[in-house]
Structure 1
Amino acid sequence: MSGISGVRTWVTERPPAAGAAVMATAVVSIGLRLAGVEVVSRVFLVLACLAWLTLAATFAVRLAGQRGRWAQEARDPAALTAVAATAVLGTRTSLLGVQPLAGALLALAALLWPVLLSAVLRHWGQRMPGTVFLCCVATQALAVLAATLAGAETTAWLAHTALVLFWAGLLLYALALPRFDVRQVLRGPGDHWIAGGALSISALAGARLLSADNARLYLWNHDDSEVLREVTVILLVLDLACYAVLVLAELARPRPRYGLLRWATVFSMGMTGAATLAVSAALRVTWLSVPGKVLVWVGVAVWVAAGVGAVLAARAGLTGARRAGAPDVTSTARR
């Protein structure tokens, strides 16, 4: 029973940043799907679903029984991982062809988004860590899911909503950038990668908007399409440049120790691969598919490393909890 109690405690005590693990796993699944590795992609999808259910249970328990703690954590930008994780998982579900479930996840993420976003924006400060960019990530995750569903269901209003969210996400990125502490590039524990991840999911949103257009919908005229194309290309170029800078920073200041925020690194690296493949398909730039696939597999490798670190950390935490609750056998024997 103590083992079950330890697992329950470990689950319910997860901080808001734990949602980054769901985001990372779902993004890797999307990247593998775009790379044509469907079987492995579905394995990651199952893992993402299990992780999301854990996240949802933690969120619900705190909302129902720990209102004060929930309200306090809602001010943390990391709380927006709940929105992003739900929307990214919805996108992978839509790509699987299960549109009703994808629509339900979109509705849930859309309900959470204004509540959490307003709470976070009211408590923004200066010199913030990389989680400040989650305002952009959460918004663009909604845009990606809405655009993907619009293309699958031939629903114009969803595509137009996604376009509004796309521009809103870019505005939020511009507002967050001056508040980001650039020293985190060399010191950050992993969430500093979201500075690039926000650009990559924005590029993915642009690609999904372009792909959603077809003869039945006719969403954008020539000028609109050209603007979307140019902005999407610029976002991808900026993302790849940011990716290179962050890799060089990791090499200059290695931070090999595992921490929960490393899942933000996995998310951002995996999202760059997925965005590159999506832009390659949407803009018919075939030569981009090769680097896109390479980046996807790099994301898979980093996911495995983070997963091993998470398992070892969880085992150490459970062992520590059992030891803390065990009686002192030596002192009992002496008495």
Structure 2
Amino acid sequence: MSPLSRGSWWAGLPPAAGAAVMAAGIISVGLHLVGREALSLAALVLAAALWLVLAADFTARLTGDRRRFRAEAYTPAALTAVAATTVLGTRLAMLGWRNAAAALLVVSAALWPGLLVAVVRHWRRRMPGVAFLGCVATQGLAVLAAVLATPGGPDPLARAASAAFCLGLLLYAAALVRFDPQEVVRGAGDHWVAGGALSISALAGSKLLASPVWTGGAHTVLRIATLALLTGSLAWYAVLLYAELRHPRTRYDIRRWATVFPLGMTAVACLSATEPAGVGWLRPLGEVLLWVAVGAWLLTFAAFLLARRTALRRTPAHVAPPGPSQ
């Protein structure tokens, strides 16, 4: 346990807790897109506060508990640090806080290569849904870079975003062949990332459609690819929802935050693709899916509080050692 977390309510949180930041952050983005600014800002404040806590704990482990840091850096869930940072940066960029968003892009880009290489080197066969976090983290960089790129003009960020977008698709394919299909019916929540990775890829594609890097035939290919990715994410959504109904998993698990994020990301991808991809009919669907994601966030948060309360009740009370007079 790191010095920061000792004795705190977040004591023992694994890297997968970064998915909670991702979930709150993407819901904030979605609420902004539908004009619910007060709720969007509330979700943003929550995401930012949790990000600061996790960032401080991440730093404490890096400087004070290297053994734990190295052990966790090899797990796919470690990439939530990159993905969460890019989601938060994207929302700040939408607020007009470009300098803060650019700083988060630098932080996430600095973390990304080391964590990605460490994770990919430890990939194995028949992996859970967290295997797709390599794609999610990479596409998160693509989205944030594309949002910060100069619209309509030549920009190195647009080219970097394009490169990250293409690499993210390759990482998705590599994760897909290692994904255990049984996770669809027995996964604890992170199996939804299989669809969420396609959603964030579609979002990256929709942001890149405004870039001059993609013109002429390349622009047409990108538009078709974006719509195909979005269709694939909706197909995953239907399959995973059906599996949840057939095989309910009602017990709280921290990996359930990795369910909420794909739900919100699919909604945001639908809302964001309406204009650049010319599919206006997706907006009503995106609005419905957004409120589904908000409901899932509330249920997951309530389950977290209940699980935490139960855990505290089961923790033995501290008994002070006998004093000199006893």
Shorter-chain-normalised TM-score: which range? Answer: over 0.9
Equivalent position of 1:270 in the other structure: 264
Equivalent position of 1:249 in the other structure: 243
Compute the displacement of 1:20 (Å): 0.5
- 1:66/1:237 CA distance change after superposition, 3 Å: same
Compute the displacement of 1:79 (Å): 0.3
Equivalent position of 2:285 in the other structure: 291
Distance across 2 between alignment mates of 1:319 and 1:152? 54
Contact 1:14 1:58 in 2 (8 A): no
Distance across 1 between alignment mates of 2:9 and 2:310? 11
Distance across 2 between alignment mates of 1:141 and 1:119? 18
Compute the displacement of 1:38 (Å): 1.6
Compute the displacement of 1:10 (Å): 3.6
Question: AA paired with 1:264?
Answer: A
- 1:166/1:325 CA distance change after superposition, 3 Å: same
- 1:151/1:32 CA distance change after superposition, 3 Å: farther
Compute the displacement of 1:282 (Å): 1.6
Equivalent position of 1:23 in the other structure: 22
Superposition TM-score, scaled by structure 1 size: 0.91
Contact 2:30 2:267 in 1 (8 A): yes
Contact 1:31 1:273 in 2 (8 A): yes
Equivalent position of 1:75 in the other structure: 74
Compute the displacement of 1:249 (Å): 0.2
Corresponding residue SS for 2:266:
helix
- 1:34/1:183 CA distance change after superposition, 3 Å: same
Cα deviation, 1:78-109, whole Å, max 9, x if unaligned, reads 00000000011000010111000000000000
Q: 2:233 aligned to 224, 235, 239, which one?
A: 239
Cα deviation, 1:281-316, whole Å, max 9, x if unaligned, reads 222321111001100111000000011111222223
Is there any run of 5+ residues in structure 1 with no aligned partner, and where? 329-334
Is the aligned partner of 1:139 residue 2:148?
no
Cα deviation, 1:177-232, whole Å, max 9, x if unaligned, reads 11110000000000000000000000000011113x3xxxx332211110110100
Equivalent position of 2:99 in the other structure: 100
Distance across 2 between alignment mates of 1:267 and 1:138? 13
Contact 2:208 2:214 in 1 (8 A): no
Is the aligned partner of 1:312 residue 2:320?
no
Distance across 2 between alignment mates of 1:266 and 1:200? 13
Distance across 2 between alignment mates of 1:286 and 1:172? 30
**Runs of 4+ that moved beyond 6 A:** none
More helix by share: 1
Bigger mean CA deviation after superposition, 134-143 or 155-164: 155-164
- 1:120/1:6 CA distance change after superposition, 3 Å: closer
Distance across 1 between alignment mates of 2:143 and 2:225? 15
Matched pairs, number: 320
Equivalent position of 2:47 in the other structure: 48
Superposition TM-score, scaled by structure 2 size: 0.94
Distance across 1 between alignment mates of 2:7 and 2:206? 41
Distance across 2 between alignment mates of 1:6 and 1:208? 38
Cα deviation, 1:12-55, whole Å, max 9, x if unaligned, reads 42101000000011011111111221221111000000110111
Is the aligned partner of 1:201 residue 2:200?
yes
Distance across 1 between alignment mates of 2:319 and 2:245? 42
Question: AA paired with 2:141?
Answer: L
